[in-house]
């Protein structure tokens, strides 16, 4: 299932508001025209009713002569206006005439060649509408001059026929101007209305497994989005509680394991020295180490932010002294290579000691039971643990820090040791990386934050 590109809220609003404005503008204008038609305002002032009907009816026959078609509007006009009269002529001199031109208007008939547009009436002054009109107009027969009375009413069909042109020339330009204004105003309005969501998104970026208790702010969040933010906050609270229960379970389990593991070690130590006893002691030691690592993880989770000045050389030397017998019995040589007498950093002494211990134990476990394990301390604040085993493939160097990850199916895995080292380095604001050994094997390098000179 593919996820489409998310829609832009800004452009969705611009499009919908523009369409709404266009529809509302059309309805308003149509409503005004409908009201004027219903109340009789337009027919009272409209003076081109007869002229419009004649213009629609005039045409030419096969020989090119002017003819008047009997359209429905023409039939209605004849029935409504008993004394209908008109003169229709073209520029070639052809003429159609019907009815009797009022005596008052007879003088204008002889002057039609000199009149292009005129409103004529029986009395002095401006009448609305006038008694007669003269106008050149475009028809199906071409451009013709029509002289007629003004007793015809407004044709509703003709009015509707002008709607598309009216829409293109009137409504559409206005709607375009309104849409243009909306285009510039909407982003500003959206930014202001959704500013609270920006703060909530910035707070959401802080959510992490090590950054618990985060709640998204509700300040300035739109009312429509508030239920979603509240639901996310409730989900975060449930996750925090579940994480705490998980942590408490691991801590309690680790504490409960310490006593039976210690009893098991004591009973194994009392058995006669045999190869089976040695393997059982090794397995029990691995179980004891795993228990200690679980407790260390819980202690790190509650680690205070304040660190102290520590000497990395002294810490590494203490670890070598403690683990050298184990390394010798496993078939390794041990080498300690400090570049200086002291190398200082800031951190937790116990956590750093545990990280070095885990790396040396990892080298003992996976170094091939031969060669040399070297611990080096260099400035400004680096600790390296090197072995001469098979090394770590390039593609596995990120995944090896996952809990209980097995490099090979037959391996026992790294348990929580390397994962704990990574947690310790993150706690100290440093990093752990895997390099190639000088001759073979792997080199684990821890980089701490050095004290300023």
Among 87, 85, 57, smallest CA distance to 71 is for 57
Phi (first) and psi of residue 409, to 5 degrees: -55, -35
First to last CA, the chain: 57
Q: How confident is the model at residue 105 (pLDDT cuts 50, 70, 90)?
A: confident
pLDDT at residue 188 is higher than 80: no
Q: Tell me if 403 sits within 8 A of 419, measured CB to CB.
A: yes
Whether the CB-CB separation of 316 and 354 falls below 8 Å is answered with no
H or E element, residue 60:
strand 58-60
- Quick one: what percent of the chain has pLDDT higher than 70? 75
Pick the range with the lowest mean pLDDT from 42-51, 63-72, 115-124, 366-375: 42-51
Helix (H, G, I), strand (E, B) or coil at 86: strand
CA atoms within 13 A on the CB side of 170: 11
Per-residue pLDDT at 316 exceeds 90: yes
Q: Please give the average per-residue pLDDT across 325-349, as a whole number.
A: 89
Query: What pLDDT is stored for residue 1 in this prediction?
Result: 44
Q: Are the C-beta atoms of 319 and 363 separated by less than 8 Å?
A: no
Task: At 146, list the tokens.
Answer: 């029509």
CB 391 within 8 A of CB 410: no
What is the rounded CA–CA span in Å between residue 358 and residue 327?
13
pLDDT for residue 88: 92
pLDDT at 312 over 90: yes
Q: Is 217 exposed, middle or buried (0-12, 13-18, 19+ CB in 10 A)?
A: middle
Instruction: Inform me whether the pLDDT recorded for 33 exceeds 90.
Output: no
CA nearest to 365, candidates 260, 286, 310, 261:
286
Q: How many CB atoms lie within 10 A of CB 64?
A: 11
Is pTM beyond 0.85 here?
no
Q: How does pLDDT run across 257-303, given as a tens digit for each residue?
A: 777 777 877 887 788 878 887 777 777 777 776 676 666 666 666 55
Contact 120/107 with Cβ under 8 angstroms? no
Q: Is the pLDDT of residue 436 over 80?
A: no
- Which token pair is 106? 């007879």
Peptide bond into 129 cis (omega under 30): yes
Q: What's the pLDDT at 296?
A: 66
Q: Which residues contact 200 (CB under 8 A, 6 or more apart)?
A: 216, 217, 221, 229
Question: Exposure of 144 by Cβ count < 10 A (0-12 exposed, 13-18 middle, 19+ buried)?
Answer: buried
Q: Round to whole Å and give the CA distance between 29 and 6.
A: 37
Q: Is the pLDDT of residue 411 over 80?
A: no
Over its C-alpha atoms, the chain yields an Rg (Å, rounded) of 48
pLDDT for the residue 36: 64
Hunting for tokens 């002054």 — which residue is that? 125
Mean pLDDT over the full length of the chain: 79
Element (H, E) at 193: helix 172-193
pLDDT for position 413: 47
Question: Residue holding tokens 């909407």?
Answer: 186
Looking at the predicted structure, is the pLDDT value of residue 397 above 70? yes
Render pLDDT for 206-241 as a digit per residue (tens, 0 to 9).
777 666 777 888 877 777 778 888 888 888 888 888
Nearest to 266 by CA among 247, 281, 249: 281
CA nearest to 77, candidates 154, 139, 158, 152: 152
Give the C-alpha distances (Å, rounded to integers) separating 12 from 19, 210, 220, 278: 11, 38, 22, 73
> For residue 7, what is the DSSP state?
P
- H-helix or E-strand spanning residue 178: helix 172-193
Q: What is the mean pLDDT of residues 407-414?
A: 52
């Amino acid at each position: 299932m593919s996820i489409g590109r998310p829609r832009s809220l800004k452009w969705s609003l611009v499009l919908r508001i523009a369409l709404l404005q266009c529809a509302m503008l059309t309805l308003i204008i149509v409503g005004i025209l409908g009201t004027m038609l219903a109340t009789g305002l337009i027919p009272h002032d409209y003076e081109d009713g007869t002229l419009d009907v004649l213009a629609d009816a005039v045409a030419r026959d096969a020989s090119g002569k002017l003819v008047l078609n009997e359209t429905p509007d023409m039939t209605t006009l004849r029935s409504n206006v008993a004394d209908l009269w008109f003169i229709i002529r073209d520029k070639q001199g052809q003429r159609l005439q019907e009815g009797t031109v009022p005596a008052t208007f007879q003088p204008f008939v002889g002057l039609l060649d000199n009149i292009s547009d005129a409103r004529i009436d029986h009395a002095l002054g401006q009448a609305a509408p006038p008694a007669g009109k003269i106008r050149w107009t475009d028809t199906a027969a071409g451009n013709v001059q029509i002289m007629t009375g003004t007793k015809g009413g407004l044709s509703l069909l003709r009015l509707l026929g002008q709607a598309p042109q009216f829409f293109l020339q009137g409504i559409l330009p206005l709607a375009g101007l309104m849409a243009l204004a909306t285009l510039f105003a909407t982003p500003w309005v959206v930014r202001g209305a959704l500013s609270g969501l920006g703060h909530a998104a910035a707070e959401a970026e802080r959510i992490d497994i090590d950054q618990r208790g985060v709640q998204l702010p509700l300040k300035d969040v739109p009312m429509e989005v508030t239920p979603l933010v509240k639901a996310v906050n409730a989900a975060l609270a449930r996750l925090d509680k579940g994480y705490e229960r998980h942590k408490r379970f691991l801590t309690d389990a680790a504490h409960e394991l310490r006593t039976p593991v210690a009893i098991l070690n004591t009973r194994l130590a009392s058995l006669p020295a045999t190869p089976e006893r040695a393997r059982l002691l090794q397995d029990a030691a691995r179980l004891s180490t795993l228990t200690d690592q679980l407790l260390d993880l819980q202690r790190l989770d509650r680690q205070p932010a304040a660190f102290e000045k520590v000497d990395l050389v002294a810490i590494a030397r203490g670890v070598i002294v403690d683990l050298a017998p184990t390394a010798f019995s496993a078939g390794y040589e041990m080498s300690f290579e400090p570049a200086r007498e002291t190398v200082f950093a800031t951190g937790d002494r116990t956590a750093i000691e545990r990280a070095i211990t885990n790396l040396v134990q990892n080298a003992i476990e996976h170094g091939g039971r031969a060669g040399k394990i070297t611990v080096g301390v260099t400035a400004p604040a680096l600790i390296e643990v090197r072995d001469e085993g098979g090394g770590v493939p390039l593609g596995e160097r990120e995944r090896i820090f996952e809990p209980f990850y097995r490099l090979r199916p037959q391996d026992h895995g790294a348990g929580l040791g390397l994962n704990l080292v990574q947690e310790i380095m993150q706690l100290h604001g440093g990093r752990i990386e895997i390099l190639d050994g000088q001759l073979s094997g792997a080199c684990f390098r821890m980089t701490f934050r050095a004290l300023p000179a």
